[in-house]
Chain A
Amino acid sequence: MEGKSSYGGNMEYLKATELKLGPPGTDIRQEATSGVSTRPKKRAMTGPTEQHTKSKVQVVGWPPVRPQRMNSFRARRNETVDESGGVYVKVSMDGAPYLRNIDLKILHGYKELRTILEGMFKCSSLGGAEGYDEEGYAITYEDKDGDLMLVGDVPWEMFVSSCKRLRIMKGSEARGLS
């Protein structure tokens, strides 16, 4: 049973080692990984990247709203979404001086998660479909049982309900997980 292949295609490097409950040779439907421009926040992106996602990748300085209002939007989102069950998890990255917070409820899949994290931590390489090299990072999370897991193995909804905390690990450490 292939189950709902609602997880993104960026974990392709794991395909060979995945346990599949189906006849050999069947392919799990992959979502194409879009190469979202990940240059650090210095150059504005030229327009929306995907029409169908509700949560758009943010263009620098757009919409033209003052920081005070932007911050009050974020605060508001926190307040309102929390009431309806927002799933806020802390995100740490090795070497970064401070952590971030992210609401998994507003995301729709691993691909979006990766995009948002890349934007937050301005990293050009967070591991990828092409595998990761020495300079790469891997996205891991701590689940309900306190175990450190690699992001991408389980269906998205299951991930959202079990993820307690995210950690972006340096490639050299993370390799032990694959």
Chain B
Amino acid sequence: MKVQSAMFYFPEEVIEHIFSFLTHHPDRNTVSTVCKAWYKIERLSRREVFVGNCYAIRPDRAAARFPGLRSLTLKGKPHFADFDLVPPDWGGLAGPWIEAMARSCPNLEELRMKRMVVSDESLELLVHAFPNFKALVLVSCEGFSTDGLAAVARSCKSLRELDLQENEIEDRGPRWLNSFPDMCTSLVSLNFACLKGEVNLKSLERLVCRSPNLKCLRLNRAVPVETLAKIMNQCPNLEDLGTGSLLADQFSEAYVSLISALQKCKKLRCLSGFWDASPLCLLAVYPICANLTGLNLSYAPTVQGQDFINLIQHCVKLLRLWVLDSVGDKGLAVVASACKELQELRVFPSDLFAAGPATVTEEGLVAISTGCPKLNSLLYFCHSMTNSALITVSKNCPNFTRFRLCILEPRKPDPATNEPLDEGFGAVVKTCKNLRRFSISGLLTDQVFYYIGKYAKALEMLSIAFAGDTDQGMTYVLNGCKNLRKLEIRDCPFGDGALLADVTKYETMRSLWMSSCDISLRGCKALATKMPSLNVEIINEWEAEMEENLNNGVAEVISNNNNKHINNGNDERKVEKLYVYRTVGGPRTDAPDFVWTL
């Protein structure tokens, strides 16, 4: 009997059950390619889908393939959109995805989106099309207002999670909180910290009162201490709290109430918010510090100096800490001595223009690395860094998976030696074998890229700015980093030679971004010709603007024919912004006029 025929007697249910142990998306993708039978079983049993680039596949195709979908994660704009490098109206529209899911995937329960444009209408559709909808997570999204939130609140029968992180939400008033129906008691997680406007405090209190399962609550700055205290008294089981404004008078009832409320919250593990935090309110927090695993003070410039030290020294179980550089090297030294379990540290700049008296330097970073050997994730903004510090840090913490260092002044050398920082960053990639994400800055030559290409074998995402000397730099990376998925480059002297050095590489990656580099239209066209499976998109605001000016001045309508621009002869023109990504969806059909697909 042929072994092969044994496969046909293997019941589908068993295979499906085996697949259910595969939680890692790439694994599920892999098994689906084994044979037709497995493809079919896999796709019908798939419950979670992750689409890292919403233009990599057409929404209806994804929806049709996975009709049993319960959870969808989508990412839209390129990462540099966070820093204003992508013009508004670039794309990343959620509408087509929600519509496609509405047609084919009625069981959708969770939708997570990052850097996408979502309209209020889409939110309405979302809550009406999916009767089991439970969780909406929006990160760095825009295009909707509090009316959209009201629609979600109003219509979701069993909403568990509404998590809004760093979105641009148009404020149309505080009424949206009233929209949660009285019978809605299912909330587990509510985060509206990014909302800029007022909220209806009474509605908030009532909502919290009838949500016994609430574990995570993050308020916005408009919520005063009085309300916070009332809420805390209602939720002794809260695990994750984002405070509102922490301004209170020592002798106020609110303050006293807050202290007693906080003491009751034995399960509180994660704290954030701390807007306008007065030192007094910090005192209220001390009793719960010992159990904290997460602390985000990055929106609290008032928490610095001795106040910060007094607070942090109690946080002995801390795993994640986000602070401003105003805590200074001194503050970081206390972190190093107190927070021995620390795994993730983010230090954000508080004053972008000048190195004030208390900012952080390489000393603070070295202290942290010495005191917190479990550190594996770092985001550090500083005014200067030395090679020797970086070498020491990597020796102390060989477990980095994410290492992002941003020296605020572009191309700044090691101040002790005036040399580039190649050796320092090189030490990081040599020592940290599990490094998956890397951002580098300061004065850097091609040498650092040689090191990255040679040693950073696990690297998946690399961000480069104001670095390198020649095309060779970028080529080292493309040739060496076998697992590279995302490469984003700005203001580097890489040209067509680098872009075309290894064109098949881009098929193994999610995307490439290059802006203010040295590439030309000729190079981009060559790439597009050689690799039809990629979308090679150019963002050219200059020409689009010139055409707009022409349109305003001239009576006849000039057609927005992309070919006219692309083929008007001068291929030597430098390309300002290039975005290349692999796709099975073909060229975008929703590209605005300043995005040209070659």
A interface residues with partner B (beta carbon < 8 Å): 42-44, 46-48, 54-56, 59-70, 72-73, 76-77, 80, 106
Contacts and interface: CB of A to CB of B under 8 A. Distances in A.
B298 A63 contact: no
A65 B353 contact: no
A106 B353 contact: yes
B82 interface: yes
Nearest to A64: B83
Interface in B62-87: 80, 82-85
A70 to B, nearest CB: 8
B140, B381, B410, B576: which has the most chain A beta carbons within 10 Å?
B410
B381 A63 contact: yes
A55 B85 contact: no
Nearest to A61: B83
What 6 A-B pairs are tightest by C-beta distance, nearest first? A61-B83, A54-B354, A61-B85, A64-B83, A44-B516, A47-B410
A63 B352 contact: yes
Interface in B482-533: 490-491, 515-516
A76 B85 contact: no
Given A42-B542, A76-B350, A67 B84 contact: yes
Given A56-B353, A68-B194, A48 B410 contact: yes
Contacts of B490: 44, 61
B298, B352, B354: which has the most chain A beta carbons within 10 Å?
B352
Given A42-B541, A47-B466, A72-B299, A64 B406 contact: yes
B558 to A, nearest CB: 21
A176 B148 CA distance: 53
Contact of B83 (A43, A48, A65): A65
B309 interface: no
B348 interface: yes
Contacts of A59: 410
A46, A62, A70, A72: which has the most chain B beta carbons within 10 Å?
A62
A67 B332 CA distance: 26
Nearest to A71: B196
A72 B82 CA distance: 15
B247 to A, nearest CB: 12
A100 to B, nearest CB: 17
Given A64-B83, A106-B353, 8 more contacts: A42-B541, A44-B515, A63-B349, A63-B408, A64-B80, A67-B168, A72-B299, A77-B351
Interface residues of B, number: 36
A48 B410 CA distance: 7
Contacts of A47: 410-411, 466
11 contacts: A43-B516, A47-B466, A55-B353, A62-B83, A63-B352, A64-B406, A66-B140, A68-B166, A69-B348, A72-B299, A76-B350
Interface of B: 80, 82-85, 140, 166, 168, 194, 298-299, 301, 348-354, 381, 406, 408-411, 439, 463, 465-466, 490-491, 515-516, 541-542, 576
Nearest to A58: B352
B491 to A, nearest CB: 6
B353 A60 contact: no
A70 B409 CA distance: 16
Given A48-B410, A61-B83, A42 B299 contact: no
Contacts of B298: 69
A59 B410 CA distance: 9
Given A43-B516, A46-B491, A55-B353, A65 B409 contact: no
Contacts of A44: 490-491, 515-516
Contact of A66 (B166, B466, B542, B576): B166
Contacts of A61: 80, 83-85, 490
A106 B301 CA distance: 19
B381 A60 contact: no
Contacts of B465: 62, 64
A78 B16 CA distance: 60
B513 to A, nearest CB: 12
A43 B577 CA distance: 10
Contacts of B352: 63, 65, 70, 73
Contacts of B381: 63, 65
Nearest to B381: A63
A2 B30 CA distance: 80
Nearest to A59: B410
A60 to B, nearest CB: 6
Contacts of B491: 44, 46
Contacts of B166: 66, 68
B576 A42 contact: yes
A73 B298 CA distance: 11
